[in-house]
């Protein structure tokens, strides 16, 4: 009896059609990254746990996939001194799968500091892993598409990241809202309610506001040790009304006497001025409830949501001033953003935004009617490939019905036929599989006709 084949929950296989669509998304993102001067790098799937632990907060550490040491991992462990899993783990696992691309990037920068030009702009598109509970839009293995610039604290970098977001989603046809905030403002609010040391607790709780609602957030704040008076003082601030500039004026009255809060207000004001001159097509919202629960953010933070699909954030990021410091390189400011390719795919699939054909699709199939017809077709097949048209010739002279079914199954939009009459007239018959029409063309006109039809699809 054979066991049923399966894959781990939260992971997926991708067939050719899905991969063509995924590559359409990734290629679009890469094109925009390059337009802004970002260069590609890659880092290993696994990192030392010493690199990963403590960078994502308490909850993030729990979601790390740990890798058992190779060989007999218990060989040198004194089990008599082990009182539980937490005692055992350091002895049997020293590595983990990467949780995101930002921390490995910080490690990369420190290790390669003498070879890199600063400011250094990099993009990185690779899978990451999180031991999360799988659900719609949330997977245990998924791709991130990151762009970061380190070695500059200019807020022009933040503005350009928002411009990149605007360009990517405009090209993909997704209407989005970009929510922005600043961790210094949140630090100022924590100080204003008398809880400056509780910034992490506050941000981790209010970061869940959209998911669990204000009552549950308040319960979590209480569980984290915030006094009721501080929790109540936080409420009106989180729901301050008005546009971005009205909110900034309100904040000046609340945290204007706190140095870090004032700095956050100044940074937000500068960023809004940059963005006002960027001619953005997306919606922009200054959201005081946006917290981005990762510990390493220190300044501006971003989150992007699709307007026409009920799914979580599809892009996010922010400024981190201290991340490389933990790897022995203090004072290296950075800011970055990450596109969630898997969620973007789900949104585009739901809204039917994918083009009919893609760079990974076969555009033209030549049918095969026999050895003589093969020889007649092969030069034209080569010509089309040299012109950049994805072209196949069916490998054997099977029944016409079978060859046409193959074209249907692969969703090939154009089929070319050449039999005795076409060979005699130095012509080809071109069939449009979508529209159903066909035409017989001189050999010299075939490539132009194919190009025109593909451009129209």
pLDDT of residue 357: 75
Residue that is last in its domain, among 296, 323, 351: 351
Two structure tokens written together for 405: 């079914």
pLDDT of residue 230: 93
Q: Is residue 34 part of a domain?
A: yes
Q: Say if residue 64 is in the same domain as residue 113.
A: yes
pLDDT of residue 231: 93
Residues 440-450, mean pLDDT to the nearest whole number = 97
The full DSSP string for 244-262 is HHHHHHHHHHHHTTSHHHH
Q: Say if residue 331 is in the same domain as residue 389.
A: no
Q: Say if residue 231 is in the same domain as residue 380.
A: no
Q: Is residue 15 part of a domain?
A: no
Q: Say if residue 374 is in the same domain as residue 347.
A: no
Instruction: Write 262-269 long-range contacts (CB < 8 A, 24+).
Output: 262/188, 263/184, 264/182, 264/183, 264/184, 264/185, 264/186, 264/187, 264/188, 264/299, 265/182, 265/185, 265/188, 267/155, 267/182, 267/184, 267/299, 267/300, 268/180, 268/181, 268/182, 268/185, 268/244, 268/300
Q: What would the pLDDT profile of 315-338 be if each residue is shown by its tens digit?
A: 999 998 877 888 888 889 999 999
Q: Say if residue 271 is in the same domain as residue 368.
A: no
Q: Say if residue 255 is in the same domain as residue 372.
A: no
Lowest mean pLDDT segment, chosen from 25-39, 150-164, 289-303, 369-383: 289-303
Query: CA-to-CA distance for 341 and 347, rounded, in angstroms?
Result: 10
pLDDT of residue 57: 77
- The CATH number given to whatever domain includes residue 402 is 3.40.50.800
Residues 212-241, mean pLDDT to the nearest whole number = 90
Q: Is residue 54 part of a domain?
A: yes
Q: Say if residue 338 is in the same domain as residue 389.
A: no
pLDDT of residue 77: 65
Q: Say if residue 347 is in the same domain as residue 372.
A: no
Residue 81 has pLDDT above 70, yes or no: no
Tokens 């006709």 identify what position? Answer: 449
Please tell me the total count of domains within the chain: 2
Lowest mean pLDDT segment, chosen from 171-175, 304-308, 319-323, 337-341: 319-323
Query: HEC profile for 294-332?
Result: CCCCCCEEEEEEECCCCCCCCEEEEEECCHHHHHCCCCC
* pLDDT averaged over every residue in the chain: 91
Q: Say if residue 313 is in the same domain as residue 373.
A: no
Residues 90-113, mean pLDDT to the nearest whole number = 90
Q: Say if residue 242 is in the same domain as residue 380.
A: no
pLDDT of residue 91: 65
Rounded percentage of the chain residues whose pLDDT exceeds 90: 71
Query: CA-to-CA distance for 153 and 272, rounded, in angstroms?
Result: 16
Query: CA-to-CA distance for 301 and 319, rounded, in angstroms?
Result: 6
Q: Say if residue 129 is in the same domain as residue 204.
A: yes
Q: What would the pLDDT profile of 8-60 be if each residue is shown by its tens digit?
A: 999 999 999 899 999 999 999 999 999 999 999 999 999 999 999 988 878 88
* Residue 175: domain span: 20-351
Apex 157 CA angle, 172 and 343, nearest 5: 30
Strand duo 176-182 + 300-306: pairing: antiparallel
């Amino acid at each position: 009896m054979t066991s049923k084949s399966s894959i781990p929950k939260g992971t997926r296989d991708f067939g050719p059609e899905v991969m063509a669509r995924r590559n359409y998304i990734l290629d679009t993102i890469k094109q925009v990254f390059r337009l802004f001067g970002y260069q590609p790098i890659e880092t290993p799937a696994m990192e030392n746990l010493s690199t990963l632990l403590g960078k994502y907060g308490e909850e993030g550490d729990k979601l790390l996939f740990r890798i058992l040491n190779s060989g007999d991992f218990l060989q040198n462990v004194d089990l008599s001194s082990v009182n539980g899993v937490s005692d055992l783990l350091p002895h049997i696992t020293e590595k983990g799968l990467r949780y995101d691309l930002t921390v490995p990037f910080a490690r990369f920068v420190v290790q390669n500091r003498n070879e890199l030009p600063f400011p250094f702009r990099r993009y990185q598109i690779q899978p990451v892993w999180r031991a999360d509970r799988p659900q719609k839009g949330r997977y245990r293995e998924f791709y991130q598409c990151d762009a970061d610039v380190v070695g500059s604290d200019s807020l022009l970098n933040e503005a350009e990241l928002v411009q990149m977001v605007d360009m990517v989603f405009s090209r993909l046809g997704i209407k989005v809202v970009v929510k922005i905030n600043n961790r210094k403002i949140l630090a100022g609010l924590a100080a204003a309610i008398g809880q400056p040391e509780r910034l992490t607790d506050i941000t981790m709780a209010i970061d869940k506001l959209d998911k669990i609602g204000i009552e549950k957030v308040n319960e979590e704040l209480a569980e984290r040790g915030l006094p009721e008076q501080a929790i109540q003082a936080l409420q009106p601030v989180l729901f301050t009304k008005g546009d971005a500039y009205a909110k900034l004026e309100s904040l000046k009255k609340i945290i204007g006497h706190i140095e870090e809060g004032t700095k956050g207000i100044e940074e937000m004001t500068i960023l809004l001025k940059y963005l006002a001159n960027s001619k953005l097509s997306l919606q922009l919202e200054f959201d005081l409830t946006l917290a981005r629960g990762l510990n390493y953010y220190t300044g501006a933070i971003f989150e992007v949501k699709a307007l026409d699909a009920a799914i979580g954030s599809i892009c996010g990021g922010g400024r981190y001033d201290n991340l490389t410091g933990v790897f022995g390189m203090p004072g290296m400011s950075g800011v970055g953003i990450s596109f969630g390719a898997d969620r973007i795919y789900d949104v585009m699939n739901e809204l039917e935004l994918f083009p009919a054909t893609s760079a990974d699709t076969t555009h033209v199939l030549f049918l095969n009617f026999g050895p003589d017809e093969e020889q007649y077709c092969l030069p034209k097949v080569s010509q089309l490939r040299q012109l950049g048209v994805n072209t196949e010739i069916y490998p054997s002279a099977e029944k016409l019905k079978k060859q046409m079914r193959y074209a249907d199954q692969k969703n090939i939009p154009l089929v070319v036929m050449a039999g005795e009459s076409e060979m005699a007239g130095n012509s080809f018959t071109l069939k449009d599989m979508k529209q159903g029409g066909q035409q017989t063309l001189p050999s010299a006109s075939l490539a132009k006709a194919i190009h025109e039809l593909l451009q129209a699809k």
